[in-house]
Chain A
């Protein structure tokens, strides 16, 4: 390099370089102390030049940093990280950072000055990194605050999710299009999917049986558009991942935004599949009719078959009565199901009063009753038939209701000499009952809503 450039370079280092640079000879005596160092340390070069740097700054020895100079004299180039050393030469920081640090924070490079193969001195370059460090500290604080805030939010979210998850019911939020925007763990359990697999999917397409999906979706869309009121409660079938059907009992709430616009639904659903199954099973096992307390068809057949065998062995006679409540449809349609139920209960009561405790009295269909009169030694079919009719008459006169109760009755005989099967007995009695009913046919056609006031059974005394 031309001497002229060497001078220019050394001048630049001395005057303009925005870092502290000082150079020592092989005895560590300072031979260059640049302007930056003069300004920042407050020590003018005349106080330093020609002196051993370790004498001018005892702090170097105190910090055991003198060894770096000996290493540099052995050819090693050294970097001193601020994080590990803070600073090499104690100097005040720039005013703005005096509240963070009492000393300027420095990253320092110490390098050998080499001429040929020989080390002839050292050069030390000091960078003021205070501003950067303060920046890093602030950034870290900010990140820490953000992390803490995020943790708090996460905690709350986790807590909310936890509450959702421990809920014993399925919780489901659908948006306006019926897409799943939230489903809790219980819901996932019931349906057999992961949360991720369901979020965003269309409820009606994924989770309902195909034959129901379209229809229910139509209703849902109408509710979303405000065209019809939503149902607060209903039951429907859902399809699990494995294709199994579950029956869910739902409680629904419409979700609205601030302007009152419907945005979706929040539903809680209880899986009642097992409950339903149990009810069905119990119903299947039961032998009594819930409404009337009489035996049901199943009970009647079970008990009667047994009774038939006993009667055959004991050579007893028995009677089977078939009784039909006339105008049941008319009563239901015109006066309501409650009235229909009352008529059935009244019929049951009449039959109970007519027959004995040991007889088998049953309701075997909507408006059909059957009685197996087991012990007929003290009575006859005719007597029992008449007793039924009398009791009906008495009931109607005492009650004076909006219609007269009317029963069609038929019967059949069981004799040990000529035993019949139960279905034969029932058929025979049914046929007789039907004959009687046919006789009333013309009148029965009047059992229609429009003729409520002209109910013929009101004035009919002999039915």
Chain B
């Protein structure tokens, strides 16, 4: 499935607004001006997702994972490489963080949680459906192991919305990826709703 340019632009716009909400909430919490940009949005089949992501993030990754259910259901992930995750929490908490401990992990979960909630909340509003979320979980693992948990045992043809994310804090830029895995039906409905926005 390939996004038309119009779909892509609209989707980016919608996600940008959603991230704006998450960014302002984080800015308020930390006292730093935080901007979260969306440089790119694309769609991949679940099979293409792994090789695509492998080219983007390397080695050990930090993932915040939330399951969402309701009329729109699937998996949402924030993926950062280990260094980026440490750097991001360091900037948010004004500390030098070189290893991710439990408290650091919680900060990442909250960041991921805010982004995913904002994004999916917006999708829910657009589709005028109610989505409920699981409490977010945090994983430190190899990319493959993480993605394998998504691929296995689901029959429906599924797609991944890959949203490149850039956190801008205190003159630093930290890149990450938001992945929203949806069934083909959910995705069709989402794109339909986005078409209407335009």
Q: A: which residues have CB within 8 A of B?
A: 64, 71, 74-85, 107, 109, 111-112, 114, 117-119, 129, 132-133, 136
Shortest CB-to-CB span from A65 to chain B, Å, is 10
Kindly identify which residue among B106, B107, B132, B136 contacts A114, using a CB–CB cutoff of 8 Å: B132
What are 13 residue pairs bridging A and B, where the CB atoms are less than 8 Å apart in the complex? Answer: A71-B117, A75-B133, A77-B113, A77-B117, A77-B132, A77-B133, A81-B103, A81-B110, A83-B104, A84-B29, A84-B93, A111-B133, A111-B135
Shortest CB-to-CB span from B140 to chain A, Å, is 16
Residues of B within 8 A of A117 (CB): 70-71, 130
18 extra interface residue pairs, beta carbon distance < 8 Å, beyond A78-B117, A84-B107: A75-B133, A77-B66, A77-B135, A79-B109, A79-B110, A79-B113, A80-B110, A81-B103, A81-B109, A82-B106, A83-B92, A83-B93, A83-B107, A84-B30, A84-B93, A85-B29, A109-B135, A136-B101
Q: Which residue of the partner chain B has the closest CB to A118? A: B130
Known: A74-B121, A81-B107, A85-B29. A132 touches B102 (CB 8 A): yes
Docked Cα-Cα span, A46 to B4, in Å, equals 59
Most buried by A among B70, B110, B131: B110
Residues of A within 8 A of B93 (CB): 83-84
| CB proximity to A under 8 Å, residues B110-152 | 110, 113, 117, 121, 124, 130-136
Shortest CB-to-CB span from B73 to chain A, Å, is 11
A136 close to B103 (CB less than 8 A): yes
Residues of A within 8 A of B124 (CB): 75
Docked Cα-Cα span, A119 to B93, in Å, equals 33
Residues of A within 8 A of B130 (CB): 75, 117-119
Residues of B within 8 A of A118 (CB): 130
Docked Cα-Cα span, A392 to B124, in Å, equals 127
Residues of A within 8 A of B92 (CB): 83-84
The answer to whether B28 has its CB under 8 Å from any CB of chain A is yes
* Among all A-B residue pairs, the 8 with the closest Cβ atoms: A81-B106, A75-B132, A77-B133, A81-B110, A76-B117, A77-B135, A81-B107, A83-B107
Docked Cα-Cα span, A117 to B136, in Å, equals 20
Residues of B within 8 A of A132 (CB): 102-103
B103 close to A76 (CB less than 8 A): no
Residues of A within 8 A of B133 (CB): 75-77, 111-112
Q: Which residue of the partner chain B has the closest CB to A64? A: B28
Shortest CB-to-CB span from A325 to chain B, Å, is 83
Residues of B within 8 A of A80 (CB): 110
Most buried by B among A76, A112, A117, A133: A76
Shortest CB-to-CB span from B83 to chain A, Å, is 19
Residues of B within 8 A of A107 (CB): 106
Q: Which residue of the partner chain B has the closest CB to A85? A: B29
Docked Cα-Cα span, A74 to B107, in Å, equals 22
Shortest CB-to-CB span from B108 to chain A, Å, is 8
Q: Which residue of the partner chain B has the closest CB to A76? A: B117
Most buried by A among B71, B101, B132: B132
Q: Which residue of the partner chain A has the closest CB to B68? A: A75
Docked Cα-Cα span, A35 to B102, in Å, equals 26
Give B7-40 as 1s and 0s: 1 = Cβ < 8 Å from A's Cβ atoms: 0000000000000000000001110000000000
Residues of B within 8 A of A64 (CB): 28
Most buried by B among A83, A107, A133: A83
Shortest CB-to-CB span from B191 to chain A, Å, is 22
Docked Cα-Cα span, A171 to B92, in Å, equals 50
Q: Which residue of the partner chain B has the closest CB to A123? A: B135
Docked Cα-Cα span, A5 to B103, in Å, equals 34
Q: Which residue of the partner chain B has the closest CB to A127? A: B106
